[in-house]
Amino acid sequence: MRGIYIHIPFCHQICHYCDFNKVFFENQPVDEYIETIDKELTILKQSGTDFTKVETVFFGGGTPTALSAKQLDRLLEIVHSHVSVMNLTEFSTEANPDELTLDKLNVLKNGQVKRLSLGVQSFDEDLLKKIGRSHSPKQAIDVVNNARRTGFENISIDLIYALPGQTQAQWQNTLDQALALELPHYSGYSLIIEPKTVFYNLMNKGRLPLPGEDEETVMFSELINQMEKSGRSQYEISNFAIPGRESIHNMIYWENDEYAGIGAGAHGYLGGVRYANIAPLKRYMEHVETGDLPIIEKNTVTPNESMEEEMFLGLRKTEGVSIKHFAEKFGVTLEEKYGAVIQDLIKKDLVERHENRIRLTRNGIFKGNEAFQQFLG
């Protein structure tokens, strides 16, 4: 197990595009939930899971910074009781710009958190309101400055393009303001309309004016070009960093390695099994109280499925999939397993061979899903 993901499902405001497991903060058993995280980690350790090789811990949500400073401090205390935090390569948390107060920044810093991932999404005030975000562009800039003053250097911000009614000019302005912060890491995602979201309901009613596919492609192209000009290398389809500042926790996912998912609705991959935790808060907490892991769904990954995952996850990285590593890991060469598929994708200019690796071409980066699907049985 290389990483631990801890899910904090609480939000003070629900974004219109979010389909993650989350609940409104008010009137929720937040303190009890934090203690349940402690119990789940204890059960996992007692089940024989090795915590000594953990490289990363990541707080996601929901919104981890919806917690009070005192609650964050308790959560960090719990992590320290289970993991050798000083030996971690990376300790990260997601955060909302309007919730990350100086008190919380100091708690995180004192708790040895090293990396902040800020959900900025846009620097356009009107678009932020349209997508249900509660912060302003100024608050996003202020929290970056406050984080730096507190001693945080490894800061990332998330941006979303192809938003309802978004113009190329608005996207360019967001990129300009984001890059003016000179951060080591940026993530840029195209809006995906997921079921059971506000945007999904609006789309079904014909009330969601989304940019067309061509406009979305132009926005993605501009994202890549601007990041390259600023010295932020595209190391994964949606992620850009100064060399050495890549997200190590996310690399665990893309490298098809194992990690624990802790908390209500969290997903994990341990012992060759992909699993999902019970999502409803009360049921999750009640189940952990029985002394059992709160797993509701399991899938033992077959060797064939693991090879498929190695390809479609690994190809997300711009360095691609190592031909040598694939053979060592699975006891079969890439050529033997996927030779015909790879040859076909090369002809279509979607992948290429480069330095003992198979990777997406520039064209393939824009048509990734078309390439990934070819590896699925």
| pLDDT tens per residue across span 173-202 | 999 999 999 999 999 999 998 898 888 898
CA distances 31 to 28, 75, 150, Å, are 9, 9, 26
Alpha helices in 264-333 (DSSP H): 281-289, 303-314, 323-330
Q: What is the pLDDT of residue 17?
A: 78
The ranges of the chain annotated as CATH 3.80.30.20 are: 3-254
- Cα 216 to the center of its chain, rounded Å: 21
Flag residues of the chain having pLDDT under 70: none
Question: pTM, whole model, 2 decimals?
Answer: 0.96
- What CATH class does 304-375 carry? mainly alpha
3-254 is classed in which CATH architecture? Alpha-Beta Horseshoe (3.80)
Q: Taking a C-beta distance cutoff of 8 angstroms, is the pair 9, 61 a contact?
A: yes
Q: Cα angle vertex 31, ends 140, 250, to 5°?
A: 50
CA distances 345 to 310, 336, 371, Å, are 17, 16, 7
| Distance of alpha carbon 7 from alpha carbon 284, whole angstroms | 12
The ranges of the chain annotated as CATH 1.10.10.920 are: 304-375
Q: Cα angle vertex 155, ends 154, 158, to 5°?
A: 145
CA distances 207 to 196, 199, 201, Å, are 16, 9, 9
Q: What is the pLDDT of residue 312?
A: 95
